[in-house]
Chains A and B, each alone.
Chain A
Amino acid sequence: MAEVSLHKLNKKFDTTHVVKDVDLQIRDKEFMVFVGPSGCGKTTTLRMIAGLEAITTGEIRIGNTVVNEVPPMDRDIAMVFQNYALYPHMSVASNMAFGLKMRKFEKSEIEKRIKNAASILGIEELLHRKPRQLSGGQRQRVALGRAIVRDPAVFLFDEPLSNLDAKLRVQMRVELKKLHERLAVTSVYVTHDQVEAMTLGDRVVVMKDGVVQQVGEPLELYNTPANRFVAGFIGSPAMNFADVTLAENGGRPVAEAPGLRIVLPDALAARARAKVGRKATLGIRPEDIHLAGAADSVDHCFEANVEVVEQLGSEILLDTRVGAATVVASVDPMVKVRSHDKLKLALNPARLHLFDAESEAAI
């Protein structure tokens, strides 16, 4: 059981600066997910926590100990790798026993722990097989088992599900979540998949270009993204963005673009007032757009040309063109729409986001 804290963490490879001033407190028993596009520094950060990568400047603490100079074996961590990294010449049981043998555990204790982990993961039947005789999902379980038997202070996961097919990935995701609830060990999980981040994380760190963009609970990131990058990265399908100019009309700030004129709701208006006359980016999620009805104020409606209709069963995604912008709307599956239709769409004003055009920070 341990907290992990990163303080002004930096990593440079020769001239490239891949992790920049990362400050982070990971609480005891928390499931912390690092998410971001590839090359954003999330894996490097994880590897620094593991001790596989030297720290350029800054400090990492696990529990109360500064571990900058502590070798990986003494950090009391276990790591699950993307390619599983099972020892190919050892049976499943020996794979799981290796870490305990290295730490000179007694034989009976090793056996007990392997049995326990195997029953948690449902791999009792596989203990005598070699890794090459296992399917991808089974290998993943063995890799998890190898981490569990160690009973470490911190679990580190480096994209553990990305080698699995889509169906298995969803299944393992659920199992990982259950496992964390059961074991309650501080976990750090790296992924590029925002769905994994949202579903697994107690909190999520969004990174880009080595810089932490936002840290927060999944819904916090979804509802109040700190900047345009987080807004676009979290949520699927991605948030719609439109370049707008902020203007004032009858004392109320409005966002204007060709074919679009949205009166900002009060909360946003108060903050936008200072920026009237400037350029900004308006953001709205597809699920916050619907077909305009009688209840919708004209202030929040716009005309759209339907270009593509994507039937997903539970919803319909409309790819539409509004002026120069492309807007995706997620509408009720019972609606009858065809491509090239002209529609009136309405958005939920409470769910509007506004970002500064230059800094891209939320207004």
Chain B
Amino acid sequence: MIEGALWRRWILNYLPLILFVIVLLFPFYWMIITTFRPDGELYRPWNAANNMPFWTNKPTLEHIIYLFEETNFARWMFNTMFIAGVSTLISLFCGVLAGYALARLNFPWAGSLGTLIFITYLVPQTLLFIPLAEIIRDFRLGDTPWSLILTYPTFLIPFCTWLMMGYFKAIPKELEECARIDGASRWKAMLYIIIPVAVPGILSSGIIAFTLSWNEFIYALVFLSSPDQKTVAVGVTSELIRGDVFFWGALMAGALLGSIPVAIVYSFFVEHYVSGLTGSVKG
């Protein structure tokens, strides 16, 4: 907190904050306003006398209706939700177990193994999709949700493992030792004590994993081809940009509706999410 005269607080505190908020929120505002703007206004020249870029007096639902009637948007939403949900669950399951093992079981090379797992996360997807495409083809998974459900964990598991490892390390060892003296086996101590305590950490890695899969583009673009298999990110861009014609209204409507589930997930868990990332475990 910056103290001192009012002008100081304004210059150093509020003004930068306001600028920052505007920069961050403007794209969303643009997305919303474009969604509800009729085509006539959208394609009006910028120097037209009645041009109003930041507001509309004739809001319309035509783009949203178009989205649901003329495209497979509902289907894409379902696909995305299914793929993101299942791959998040798989990654969380593996990540929690692996993170626990790396943080708590003192086996040789635990440290270097943790680093190695993290390095795999750093391999860019834009390179990885080439060999993965080969694998997907060999297993005949192309154009099915499973092509993504099984490939997303390649970057989600390292990520979850790394995050959970850090979180487990922050939980006092004594909790587990006490449970083991109390009569719990290692497995039960993990199940009844460590995992419940780690719920904020599990939730935050789950949220991030879900968002990452929800927004994923390149694998979805490469591995899925038929319109009714696509995810929102790929469906909207491939079906609503035809050649060099951009269906701006429908595109923005798709983007807006597509970001709502993620926003809901975030707002729902925001408290857990923050405490998960700051790693505070109160005894």
Give the B-binding residues of A (Cβ under 8 A). 50-52, 71-73, 75, 77-79, 81-89, 98-99, 102-103, 131-132, 139, 146, 150
Whether A83 contacts B180 by the Cβ 8 Å rule is: no
**Cβ contact within 8 Å between A89 and B172:** no
**What's the Cα separation between A87 and B282 when bound, in Å?**
10
Nearest chain A residue, comparing its CB with the CB of B196: A89
Contact indicator B183/A85 (Cβ below 8 Å)? no
Q: A88-B282, A150-B182 are in contact. Are A83 and B172 (CB under 8 A)?
A: yes
Q: How far is the CB of A159 from chain B (nearest CB, A)?
A: 12
A-B contact pairs, 20 of them (CB 8 A): A51-B181, A52-B177, A52-B181, A73-B181, A73-B184, A77-B181, A79-B178, A81-B177, A83-B283, A85-B177, A87-B178, A87-B179, A88-B197, A88-B283, A89-B199, A102-B183, A102-B188, A131-B282, A132-B282, A146-B178
Q: Given A85-B172, A85-B174: A72 and B181 within 8 A (CB)?
A: yes
Answer yes or no: B185 CB below 8 A from chain A CBs: yes
CB-based nearest B residue for A152 = B181
CA distance A146 to B172 in the complex (A): 18
Candidates B174, B184, B197, B199; contact of A102 at CB < 8 Å: B184
Q: Is B180 within 8 A of A85, CB to CB?
A: no
Neighbouring A residues of B192 by C-beta, 8 Å:
98
**Pairs of residues from A and B, 4 with the lowest C-beta to C-beta distance, nearest first:** A99-B182, A102-B183, A85-B174, A85-B178
Contacts of B177 in A (CB 8 A): 50, 52, 72, 79, 81, 85
> Within 8 Å CB of A78, what residues of B?
181-182
B281 interface residue (CB < 8 Å to A): yes
A51 CA to B175 CA, complexed, in Å:
15
B193 at the A/B interface (Cβ < 8 Å)? yes
A81 touches B184 (CB 8 A): no
B residues less than 8 Å from A103 (CB atoms): 183
Interface contact B174-A88, CB-CB below 8 Å: no
Complex Cα distance A265/B197, Å? 64
* Assembled-state Cα–Cα distance A297/B178 (Å): 59
Q: Which residues of A contact B182 (CB under 8 A)?
A: 73, 78, 98-99, 102, 146, 150
Q: In the complex, are the beta carbons of A86 and B283 less than 8 A apart? A: yes
CB distance A88 to B181 under 8 Å? Answer: no
Alpha-carbon distance A75/B177, docked complex (angstroms): 13
Question: Which of B197, B282, B283 has the largest number of chain A CB atoms within 10 A?
Answer: B283
Q: Mark B107-135, 1 if CB is under 8 A from A, else 0.
A: 00000000000000000000000000000
A277: shortest Cβ distance to chain B, in Å?
A: 54
CA distance A71 to B282 in the complex (A): 28
The answer to whether A79 touches B283, judged by C-beta atoms less than 8 angstroms apart, is no
- B177, B185, B281 interface centre (most CB from chain A within 10 Å): B177
- Contacts A79-B178, A98-B182: A85 and B283 contacting too (C-beta < 8 A)? yes
Q: Which residues of B contact A51 (CB under 8 A)?
A: 181
Asked whether B172 lies within 8 Å of A99 as measured between CB atoms, the reply is: no
Interface centre among A77, A98, A131 (most CB of B within 10 A): A98
Known: A88-B281, A132-B283; 6 extra A-B contacts, CB below 8 A, are A72-B181, A73-B184, A85-B178, A86-B283, A87-B179, A99-B183
When distances are taken between beta carbons in the complex, the residues of chain B under 8 Å from A98 are 179, 182, 184, 192
Residue of A52, A72, A84, A150 near B283 (CB, 8 A) is A84
Name B186's closest neighbour in chain A (CB-CB).
A71
The interface residues of chain A lying within 8 Å CB-to-CB of B172 are 83, 85
* Chain A positions within 8 Å of B184 at CB level: 73, 98, 102
A131 to chain B, nearest CB (A): 6
